[in-house]
Amino acid sequence: MKTTFMGYRRHDGRSGVRNYVAVVPTVLCSVSVARSIAEAMRVNVFPHEGGCGQVGSEKEHTLRVLEGVVSHPNVGAVLTVGLSCEQIDATRLLKAAGDKPTRHIRIHDEGGNAKAVKRGVEMVGELKKEIKGADKTNISVDELTIATQCGSSDTGSGIASNPAVGAMADKLIELGGAVIIGETGGLYGAAGLMARRAATKEIGDKIIAMTDRLEEYYKRMGHSLREGNPTPGNIAGGLTTLVEKSLGGVRKGGTTTIRGVLSPGERISGKGLWVMNTSHGIGSCAAADMLASGAQILAYTTGGGNPTGSPLAPVVKITATKKTVERLEDIIDFDASPVLLGDETVKECGNRMLEEMVEVAGGKIVQAEKTRHTVFAIGKVAL
Amino acid sequence: MAGKRRYVVVDDRDNVATVVEMLKEGEVIEAGMKNIKLLRDIPEGHKFALSRIPKGGYIIKFGEWIGRATAEIPVGDHVHIHNVEDIVDEVRKL
C-alpha cells in the first residue's frame, strides 16, 4: 500500500491535501457578496448565519469554526468579507491564517454590494496568482486525519459501508494517523459502548455527559431525542431499536481506543480515534465542525446517495448499495457493495478504501469537487 | 459466490442475521453448520433469529445487545418491533 502522498506543508507544521482559496463572510449580512465573489472566481465560499448578535457558547462556536476554516491546512489563501458593524473581528480571524496570503474587504468601506463584489473578485485573482504553483512535498499517511459521517443511510450502511469505514479507520490509526467520529445524536444509543472504549474514565464520562446534555436540551423544549427514533423509514428498512441504529453508526470509528473528546469545531491535538461532540448539529453543520478540527478528508457513507460536499475538504462518498453506485454516478466515489454481497471482507474493503483516501489526498478529485457541490453551515447550538 | 450472499451475520456472537434480499416463509437457509427454516417472510434489511431467544433474552447484533425479546422468538422467526423492546437506558451507562 502507498503510504505517502504529495501535499502542501503549512507554516504551522500541518499538511494539506488541497490548496483552496477560501472566501469567508464574517457575518450573515455579507454572505451574499461573498457568494457572488466565489462563484465568479470558481473558488470556495463558507456561508453561515452567525457573526453578529450571538452570545456565550454560540458566539464562541462560530468563531472557533471560522478560525478552523482560515487556519485549515487545505486552505492556501483567504479573503474575508465583512460588513463593518458586525460582532466578529476579522483581524482576529485573519491572525489564525498565519502566513497564508490574505485579503479583507468590508461592504461599507467599498461603497456597497456591487463595488465590494468587484473588489473581492480582483483580490481573489491576486490570491490565486500568489498561491499558483505552490510547492507540493511528499507527506506520510500518518499525517492524515479523516473525519467520518453518514447520511441517507440504509440497511447496507450499518452492516457493510460503516464497518468498512471502520476497518479503514483502524488501518489508518495503525499507520499513525487520526480519525474523528461525531454526530452526538447518532451515537446516543451507543454512548455506553463508546465510553467503555475510552482510554480513561474521564473521557468515557465526557462521552456520556455530552449525550446527556443533548437529551436535556430536547427535554427543555418538551421533547426527547428518542421521539420517532428509529424513524418510520428506519423501521420499514429493518432497524428495530435506537441502540441498533446507533451501533451501526458508530462502526465508522472502527475498533480502537478513544483518545479524547473534542468540542464542536475544536482543533484535534493527537493521533488515534477521537470523538467530536457535534452537539445538536446534523448534516453539514456536523461536517463543518469535524473538518474545522483540521481533518483533511471526510469519509461519508450513504445508502440512498447523499450528494453533499464541503468547501473545506474532499468528501469521499461510500455506499454498499449496488443500485446507488449504478444510478448516481456523479455522487458516489467508492463502491463498498462487494462487502454486502460477500465478495470482499470488511478488512479487505477497508484497505482498499484507505488506498483510495491516499489517492484523494494526493489530488484525485472526488465527485463533489467535480460537480462543485459544496454545503457549509455552522450550528447555532453548541452544548 | 459472487453476488450470491442472501444474509449477513455481522459478528460471530450474533443471534440474528440481516437479510440482503427478501426471503420467503418456508425457505430453508444454510447458516453455518445448520439449516434454518424461515417461519415468516423476511423483508430486505430485516432480521431473523439464528437461535431460540427466550422472552427477556437479549437480541445480539454487532456482537452487542441491541434490544430485549418481549416474547419467546423461535429459530427462523422475524425479529423486529413486534417482539423486541429498546434497551437504550440500560446500555447508555458506562
pLDDT, one tens digit per residue, over A191-205 is 999 999 999 999 999
**Total-model pTM:** 0.95
Measured in whole angstroms, how far is the alpha carbon of residue A184 from the centre of its chain? 14
Average pLDDT value for residue range B73-82: 98
Q: Is residue A318 predicted with pLDDT exceeding 80? A: yes
Q: What is the pLDDT of residues A38-83, one digit of tens each?
A: 999 999 999 999 999 999 999 999 999 999 999 999 999 999 999 9
A195, A238, A251 member nearest B45 (Cβ): A238
| Segment among A27-31, A145-149, A376-380 with least mean pLDDT | A376-380
Share of residues in chain A with pLDDT > 90 (%) = 90
Q: What is the C-alpha separation between A289 and A284, in angstroms, rounded?
A: 9
Across the interface, whether the CB atoms of B4 and A342 are under 8 A apart is answered yes
Across the interface, whether the CB atoms of A251 and B62 are under 8 A apart is answered yes
Q: Is residue B3 predicted with pLDDT exceeding 60? A: no
pLDDT, position A213: 94
pLDDT, position B94: 55
**Which chain B residues are Cβ-neighbours of A226 within 8 angstroms?**
86, 88
Q: Is residue A232 predicted with pLDDT exceeding 90? A: no
B1, B2, B67 member nearest A244 (Cβ): B67
**Which chain A residues are Cβ-neighbours of B8 within 8 angstroms?**
159-160, 340
Share of residues in chain A with pLDDT > 70 (%) = 100
State how beta strands A102-106 and A75-82 pair: parallel
What SS3 string covers A218-252? HHHCCCCCCCCCCCHHHHHCCCCCHHHHHHHHHHH
Q: Which of B25, B16, B19 is nearest to B6 (CA)?
A: B19
Q: Is residue B1 predicted with pLDDT exceeding 70? A: no
Q: Which three cell numbers mark A262? A: 473534542
| Segment among A39-53, A222-236, A296-310, B58-72 with least mean pLDDT | A222-236
User: What residues contact A40, with CB distance under 8 A and at least 6 apart?
Assistant: A117, A121
CATH class of B7-91: mainly beta
pLDDT, position A227: 83
Average pLDDT value for residue range A248-263: 97
Q: What is the mean pLDDT of chain A?
A: 95
ipTM of the complex as predicted:
0.96
Residue A341 to chain B, least CA–CA distance (Å): 5
Per DSSP, which regions of A107-227 are E strands? 137-140, 145-151, 178-181
CA distances from A68 to A22, A64, A331, B21 (A): 12, 6, 26, 44
Across the interface, whether the CB atoms of B92 and A208 are under 8 A apart is answered yes
**Which chain A residues are Cβ-neighbours of B4 within 8 angstroms?**
341-342
Task: For chain B, give every domain's residue range.
Answer: 7-91
Q: Which three cell numbers mark A248? A: 451501526
Burial tier of A117 (Cβ tally within 10 Å: 0-12, 13-18, 19+): buried
Residue A307 to chain B, least CA–CA distance (Å): 23
Average pLDDT value for residue range B42-62: 97
Q: Is residue A170 predicted with pLDDT exceeding 60? A: yes
What letter does residue A289 receive in the DSSP assignment? H
